[in-house]
Amino acid sequence: MKLLFDDYSRKASRHVTKKYSTSFYAGVRALDKKIRDDVHAIYGFVRFADEIVDSFHGFDKAELLEEFKNDTYKAIDRKVSLNPILNSFQTTIHKYNIDLKLIEQFLFSMAMDLEDIEYDKQKYEQYILGSAEVVGLMCLKIFVYGDEGEYEKLKPYAMKLGSSFQKINFLRDLNADFNELGRIYFPNLESGELTLENKIQIEEEIQQEFEDALIGIKMLPKSSRFGVYVSYKYYVKLLKKIQRKTANELLQERIRIANKTKVFVFAKSFLRNSLNIL
């Protein structure tokens, strides 16, 4: 009967992805069926941790995050959890032999969100490493089916992609992060002020990371290349839209991609991937 519970756990993680991120869910659907549930398992885990620090106002977030951390390691150690999200997550961790250090780095970055931190370059890079780059590495381990050689070869590119995605999220969420949560992740910004010079510099960093990441995307197995490429193209489109906005406009609204644009990006990406002209 545990097979029934495991199946329920996978569906629970899948539902979390669909509920919280339609764009990411669409990207996962473009992956090979054999690995979709494993990527959902990673997303469900990171989403729950993120929800604790971002949404559970009025509760002891530090205590809840510590409990979640302890429950995560218990699930991995026992190879089972009554929490369906953690149960599917631990299954994926064991299936691909994912390094526990990646989980530790991720949870450390989540804990950083509980503190009133003035980010300098070192803390900024540390946060991006834990909140985004290591998540990309967890997914990469799935994409290469646990192959250590391929993982090491593609690791730098996966980290660049994760970093670029996170920096775009910082820009598009500037309004909520600063005005609602009192956070500003970019270093050397006073009172949340994003100057045109700062904005251009960040956009240029993202563009360079995109160019580096695309090299790695082209080397991914066919089972994952299209799905990752679609997500990449969604974010390329987001960057272009952000570039057309002023710093003040980013503080007033969250940048989104219209559904019809997403459909167009998906179709165009499918064609380019099929013709092998990424």
* Nearest-5° Cα angle at 176, 249 to 29: 95
Residue 70 or 118, more confident = 70
Crossing angle of the two packed helices 33-55 and 84-96, in degrees rounded to 10: 130
Q: What is the pLDDT of residues 115-128, one digit of tens each?
A: 988 888 999 999 99
- Supply 95's token pair: 């299936």
Banded pLDDT at 277 (limits 50, 70, 90): confident
In this prediction, residues 54-66 reach a mean pLDDT of: 96
pLDDT of residue 247: 83
In this prediction, residues 187-205 reach a mean pLDDT of: 80
Per-residue pLDDT at 106 exceeds 70: yes
**Element (DSSP H or E) covering residue 194:** none
Residue 232 near residue 248, CB atoms below 8 Å: no
Question: Which domains occur in the chain, in start order?
Answer: 2-274 (1.10.600.10)
Q: How far apart are CA 234 and CA 167, in angstroms?
A: 14
Per-residue pLDDT at 259 exceeds 90: no
In this prediction, residues 241-254 reach a mean pLDDT of: 88
Q: How far apart are CA 128 and CA 130, in angstroms?
A: 5
In this prediction, residues 124-152 reach a mean pLDDT of: 97
In this prediction, residues 89-100 reach a mean pLDDT of: 97
pLDDT of residue 71: 98
Per-residue pLDDT at 188 exceeds 70: no
Q: How far apart are CA 271 and CA 278, in angstroms?
A: 9
In this prediction, residues 246-274 reach a mean pLDDT of: 85
In this prediction, residues 183-203 reach a mean pLDDT of: 79
Q: Among residues of the chain, what percentage have pLDDT more than 70?
A: 98
* Nearest-5° Cα angle at 22, 229 to 225: 15
pLDDT of residue 191: 54
Residue with tokens 């695309």: 214
Per-residue pLDDT at 169 exceeds 70: yes
- Supply 121's token pair: 């370059």
pLDDT of residue 271: 85
pLDDT of residue 190: 58
Q: How far apart are CA 82 and CA 48, in angstroms?
A: 15
Taking the mean position of all CA atoms in its chain, how far away is CA 223? 19
Residue 185 or 160, more confident = 160
- The set of long-range contacts for 221-224, using a CB threshold of 8 Å and a minimum separation of 24, is 221/143, 221/144, 221/145, 222/32, 223/31, 223/32, 223/34, 223/35, 223/143, 224/31, 224/32, 224/35, 224/142, 224/143
- Supply 216's token pair: 């790695």
Where residue 193 falls (left for φ over 0; alpha for ψ -120 to 50; beta otherwise) is beta
